[in-house]
Amino acid sequence: MIQQSTYTFDILHELLEDRYRRYNVPAYIDDDPIRLPHLFTNKEDVEIAAFLTASIAWGQRKTIIKNARELMRRMDDSPADFVLNAESSDLAVVDRFVHRTFQATDCRFFIRALQDIYRQRGGLEEVFTKGYSESNTVYDALRYFREVFLSTPHEPRSEKHLSAVAANSAAKRLNMFLRWMVRKDEVGVDFGLWQGIPASALMIPLDVHVGKVGRALGLLDRRQDDWKAVEEITGQLRRFDATDPAKYDFALFGMGLSGELTQP
């Protein structure tokens, strides 16, 4: 069990590297939402499946995987073709889709917004990369992406499903999506499909597991799980690997999920 304590740099580095190697393995895919985009090989299919899966990635992982799989089936297991070519009448296939508070009206909007992005703006990679290029920060990539996404007509209720870093949101799901798309490692869990954003710029997808372990290890002092906390913990992790700090998401999430932690 990990106990809240003060670790030397070398001990903490060794611990993080060990747990990264333990959890960043192909078997990780089976029980994680990243399993859904791994069903596809075409770049656009992977991107869209990953984005939609990440967008509903809160709650129990089994439920997330089940509902994301159902959404892919409703899109005939061809998410890129569906998004690019769907007419308004075709969107009826998602009318009964629900994942917690993400309902059919939200799903329709997300598909329409993705359609606009792929038809008019060059796709998800192009939009995120353009935002990143404004200041070479993921913060601006996420801020710009939200502006573009919400430019598609929508009901106000749907905005809560797209995190706003400008409002200090941790943006866990969007940061997770970027980790999937940008990171490329030797075991092939993350896809590494995108070239315009470097892995060194990625931010940690901060959720309750990562936050608890980060605080127990002395990597995070801030009590709220918000964007300021994301910056703090990612900055700490860059001390151990400045080229790929998000790789430690595997270590922190894995330790938290496995219960390898005593409560502070």
Domain boundary, last residue among 199, 232, 253: 199
Residue 174 has pLDDT above 60, yes or no: yes
Residue 259: pLDDT band (50, 70, 90) is confident
Looking at the fold, whether 45 and 111 belong to one and the same domain comes out as yes
Looking at the fold, whether 51 and 20 belong to one and the same domain comes out as no
Looking at the fold, whether 72 and 177 belong to one and the same domain comes out as yes
Alpha-carbon gap, residue 183 to 132, rounded angstroms: 15
Taking CA atoms, 220 is separated from 31, 145, 243, in Å, by 27, 27, 20
pLDDT in tens, 120-152: 999 999 999 999 999 999 999 999 999 999 999
Looking at the fold, whether 10 and 36 belong to one and the same domain comes out as no
How many domains does the chain contain in total?
2
Alpha-carbon gap, residue 245 to 199, rounded angstroms: 8
In 3-state terms, the chain is what percent helix, strand and coil (to 5)? 60, 0, 35
Q: Which two tokens stand for residue 216?
A: 């127990």
Residue 89: pLDDT band (50, 70, 90) is very high
Looking at the fold, whether 194 and 210 belong to one and the same domain comes out as no
Domain boundary, last residue among 149, 182, 199: 199
Looking at the fold, whether 143 and 19 belong to one and the same domain comes out as no
- pTM for this model (two decimals): 0.95
**3 state SS of 196:** coil
What residues are paired with 102 via a beta bridge? Answer: 99
Looking at the fold, whether 190 and 213 belong to one and the same domain comes out as no
What's the pLDDT score for residue 260?
82
Q: What value does the mean pLDDT take over residues 69-95?
A: 97
Phi and psi at 79, nearest 5°, equal -60, -40
pLDDT in tens, 23-53: 999 999 999 999 999 999 999 999 999 999 9
Taking CA atoms, 241 is separated from 8, 64, 206, in Å, by 16, 30, 18
**Under a CB-based contact definition with an 8 Å cutoff, are residues 37 and 191 in contact?**
yes
Residue 6 has pLDDT above 70, yes or no: no
Residue 213 has pLDDT above 50, yes or no: yes
**Under a CB-based contact definition with an 8 Å cutoff, are residues 217 and 12 in contact?**
yes
Looking at the fold, whether 231 and 146 belong to one and the same domain comes out as no
pLDDT in tens, 227-244: 999 999 999 999 999 999
Looking at the fold, whether 68 and 189 belong to one and the same domain comes out as yes
CA atoms within a 13 Å half-sphere pointing along the CA-CB vector of 160 = 7
- What is the extent of the structural domain holding 103? 32-199
Please, where are the H alpha helices in 56-103? 61-74, 79-85
